[in-house]
Structure 1
Amino acid sequence: MLQNAINRYFDNFKGFSREIWILTLITFINRAGTMVLPFLSKYLKEDLHFSYSQVGWIMVCFGTGSMIGSWLGGKLSDKIGFYKIMIFSLFFSGIAFFILQFITSFTGLCLSMFLIMVIADMFRPAMFVSLGAYAKKENRTRALTLVRLAINLGFAAGPAMGGLIIMNIGYKGLFWVDGATCIIAILIFWLTVKEKKKSKYTDKEHPGEVLTHSVFKDKPFWVFLACCTITGILFFQLFTTIPLYHKEQFNLTEFQTGLLLMMNGLLIFVLEMPIVSIVERKNIDKVKVVTFGALAMTISMFLMLINMWSGILVIMMLFMTFGEMFAFPFSNSFAMSRAPKGHEGRYMAIFTMSYSLAHISSAKIGMEIISKFGYQTNWVFMGFLGIMSILLGIWVLKLVEKEKNHL
């Protein structure tokens, strides 16, 4: 019985090309090294002594850079190819992280965070397009999930190691590790994967699974993006307001915060691929799954209102993790399925920009609400935002249904 379950679990990982596995490996190395991010708000607040409002502004610059980087990365992937963009992005963001530790002024950090994220986030849409080139059509959602597993396993290892590095060496150590992992990851990619001009998996008979030709006329896509942006805002609370809340409300150490984030990463590593396989096998509507994810995230925000018992942080993290597993992999593949051939870069750029917008909004809104009205008001506000995302998900379902009926 157990043997069957283990075999079934490993069957989910079969059928990927060598390039997909290498992409997964470099994503893991890159993400495990991204230790600066979960501790950025703490570093700015506790080490550099900025106010909540200043931390919020630095995070806005971070998110704005991320948005412009995503847009540039997608546009250039369609023009000059994803391969060159990926190499440029990781190599130069690695060098930028080395330099970042020496910048401590408010204006300097706003500017450097913006520039680093423009370079670093060109990688994401390029990487999504590369999955389209290196994965078979029927494997795409699973390939996305495999890369997301690497991201989450990296996030599971990263914060716990990051917490230990801070306690032993200080925040400076994080910047060295972060920069080095970017450069190591891209060297592995450059040495082992050759550039691919055109996908041999391109479907010539059915050039796109999409009904509209201009991304700006694709109404279900835009309503869906609004839903995704809100789930992103809720999720990014994990890296902006929640680590500060852990310390101020429950007096948790960096290592304990790292462990909670590690639990999130490990659960995703074990459960996300089987969940994706079940949804694919049973052909469950992707938008429906994303809407369930929004529901779980909304519940996790309302759970934060219970502030007398630290155990609630574990329960909240469980709801947030399941929300993430339902919402994120299927958002990616729904967005990809709307894109006509040759325009994947543009669609994925706009899709990744929605998460960059979420990053900006999440940090700024959260920090401003907390500094004026306190943590409890923030959790109530986020919960009501979550209810909006559930309603948007239901609207997308109706729009897609109407589209099918018109065919």
Structure 2
Amino acid sequence: MKTLFNNYVNTFKGLSTEVWWLSLITLINRAGTMVIPFLSLYLTKSLNFTPSDVGWIMSAFGLGSVVGSWLGGKLTDKIGFYKVMVFSLLATGGLFIVLQFLNTFILFCLGIFLVMLVADMFRPAIFVALSAYSKPENKIRSVTLIRLAINLGFSAGPAIGGIIITSLSYGGLFWVDGITCILATLVLVNVLNPKKVKTLDDVKTENPKSVYGDKAFLIFFMAMVLFGVVFLQYFSTMPLYYKDAHFLSEFEIGLLLGLNGFLIFVFEMPLIKWLENTRFTKTGLMLFGAILTGLSFVILNFTNWAGVLVIGMLLMSFGEMIAFPFSNAFALDRAKKGNQGEYMALYSISFSIAHIFGHNTGLQLIDKVGFDNTWYIITLLAALCVFLLFLLSQYLNALKRRKEKIKNEEEKEILWI
């Protein structure tokens, strides 16, 4: 047992102090994101919106995320990630508190759009911050540590959120979310050195390549949109499935969603450390993660046994553990070719687009064709994601062979001369 514990601790060694601080800031911030998993329940149970209304609200959520990610990437390249992160965290805190007072369909659409616009400016900024603060050999583990903080927050958040809803009301969730964002801002401005950040922000890529001309990244982008659509069902349609099809309480739903964060907290870092030392490529691992996530939906139709919900959560959690860190690492590697903010913004936008279409599509489908047929359709989308990742792998292999051929021909030419 002691050896296992020591091996687990060793997976965290070598990461910079700044990465640890960024992880703590992320943990404080994400501990309050308990609103998000319960948003569809809040809108249907407390504000009496229809599933169709909720679908359009979640599209506004995603549209705000797209605009925010794009704007965050542009501002990160212009003024630096530190200023973007401070503004995003502080403003998001105030906006989350205000959001609870909006109770009409139009106002809530506008409110959630603005909240996500400001909140998701943070995402490309923190990716660039990680790249700046991490040694090349530690970037995947640095990203994994941030995800660990996110999921530790998500692990506690839904469970605490279920308790708050049961004992108080949904309104308390918005207060907690807002206050934790403000607390995260206070930690950020007190522990990270702006002068050091400014120096890092001034580092630019010579002759940067536009992300929109990077064919491999665009294939990757489309695959991530599909993966996001599939994955996000766990935060909109799945809570409704738990409640309406399996009659779970909000507290039980919170515990089940919290299981995801707990599994990631315990297993992700050792798993990533091990996978880094295998012969598997980043694209191959992303592909495998997408397969596991797709399987988590199709098994739901095999039985009415409540235990299948836990099995589905296990499959999705391990699929997420594998797909997300290596997709982050792939994006960071490609970002070396151009402006990092632009690349990481497009990576973030892939999930923002998934927010626009994923929640709405899932909610409209369960309203029109029921849960079982919805899970089959989501599984097909996961299969399409796997196909695109396979194409990406083949394309990259072809590029690699072409470069090796050119290199060999150049070497032969030098020898001939």
Does the 8 Å CA contact 2:80/2:201 hold for their aligned counterparts?
no
Does the 8 Å CA contact 1:38/1:159 hold for their aligned counterparts?
yes
Letter aligned with residue 370 of structure 2:
G
Letter aligned with residue 124 of structure 1:
R
The answer as to 2:21 corresponding to 1:25 is no
The answer as to 2:128 corresponding to 1:133 is no
Give me the whole-angstrom Cα distance separating, in 1, the residues matched to 2:94 and 2:212: 36
Give me the whole-angstrom Cα distance separating, in 2, the residues matched to 1:201 and 1:270: 37
SS in 2 for 1:309: coil
Does the 8 Å CA contact 1:94/1:178 hold for their aligned counterparts?
yes
Matches within 5 A, 1:364-383: 364-383=360-379
SS in 1 for 2:198: coil
Give me the whole-angstrom Cα distance separating, in 2, the residues matched to 1:58 and 1:148: 26
Letter aligned with residue 367 of structure 2:
S
The answer as to 2:170 corresponding to 1:171 is yes
Does the 8 Å CA contact 1:246/1:257 hold for their aligned counterparts?
yes
Give me the whole-angstrom Cα distance separating, in 2, the residues matched to 1:134 and 1:201: 13
Give me the whole-angstrom Cα distance separating, in 2, the residues matched to 1:100 and 1:277: 40
Structure 1 pair 172–163 and aligned structure 2 pair: CA distance change class (3 A): same
Task: Give the C-alpha shift of residue 283 in structure 1.
Answer: 4.7
Matches within 5 A, 1:210-221: 213-221=209-217
* Structure 1, unpaired ranges of 5+: none
Does the 8 Å CA contact 2:211/2:338 hold for their aligned counterparts?
no
Give me the whole-angstrom Cα distance separating, in 1, the residues matched to 2:272 and 2:348: 20
Matches within 5 A, 1:6-45: 6-45=5-44
Q: Report what 1:84 is aligned to.
A: 83
Q: Report what 1:197 is aligned to.
A: 198
Task: Give the C-alpha shift of residue 306 in structure 1.
Answer: 3.0
Structure 1 pair 363–235 and aligned structure 2 pair: CA distance change class (3 A): same
1:199-228 superposed Cα distances (whole Å, 9 cap, x missing partner): 3997x9xx69x9x92211211111111111
The answer as to 2:286 corresponding to 1:290 is yes
Over the aligned positions, Cα root-mean-square deviation in angstroms equals 1.7
Give me the whole-angstrom Cα distance separating, in 1, the residues matched to 2:397 and 2:382: 23
Q: Report what 2:401 is aligned to.
A: 405
Letter aligned with residue 227 of structure 1:
A
Matches within 5 A, 1:263-282: 263-282=259-278
Q: Report what 2:2 is aligned to.
A: 3
Q: Which has the larger radius of gyration?
A: 2
TM-score calculated relative to the size of structure 1: 0.96
Give me the whole-angstrom Cα distance separating, in 2, the residues matched to 1:201 and 1:99: 36
Give me the whole-angstrom Cα distance separating, in 1, the residues matched to 2:364 and 2:158: 25
1:53-74 superposed Cα distances (whole Å, 9 cap, x missing partner): 1000000000100110001001
Does the 8 Å CA contact 1:133/1:201 hold for their aligned counterparts?
no
SS in 1 for 2:209: coil
Q: Report what 1:393 is aligned to.
A: 389
Give me the whole-angstrom Cα distance separating, in 1, the residues matched to 2:303 and 2:47: 28
Does the 8 Å CA contact 2:57/2:112 hold for their aligned counterparts?
yes
Q: Report what 2:358 is aligned to.
A: 362
Does the 8 Å CA contact 1:290/1:331 hold for their aligned counterparts?
yes
Give the stretch that moved more between structures: 2-11 or 342-351.
2-11
Does the 8 Å CA contact 1:136/1:201 hold for their aligned counterparts?
no
Task: Give the C-alpha shift of residue 402 in structure 1.
Answer: 1.0
Give me the whole-angstrom Cα distance separating, in 1, the residues matched to 2:91 and 2:279: 41
Matches within 5 A, 1:38-57: 38-57=37-56
Give me the whole-angstrom Cα distance separating, in 1, the residues matched to 2:278 and 2:369: 46
SS in 2 for 1:199: helix
Letter aligned with residue 198 of structure 2:
K
Q: Report what 1:149 is aligned to.
A: 148
Give me the whole-angstrom Cα distance separating, in 2, the residues matched to 1:201 and 1:380: 48
Structure 1 pair 288–251 and aligned structure 2 pair: CA distance change class (3 A): same
Does the 8 Å CA contact 2:294/2:382 hold for their aligned counterparts?
yes
Of all paired residues, the percent bearing the same amino acid is 49
Identify which of 315, 328, 335 aligns with 1:332: 328
Q: Say how many residue pairs are matched.
A: 401
Q: Report what 1:107 is aligned to.
A: 106
1:84-104 superposed Cα distances (whole Å, 9 cap, x missing partner): 000000100100011111110
Q: Report what 2:415 is aligned to.
A: none
SS in 2 for 1:63: helix
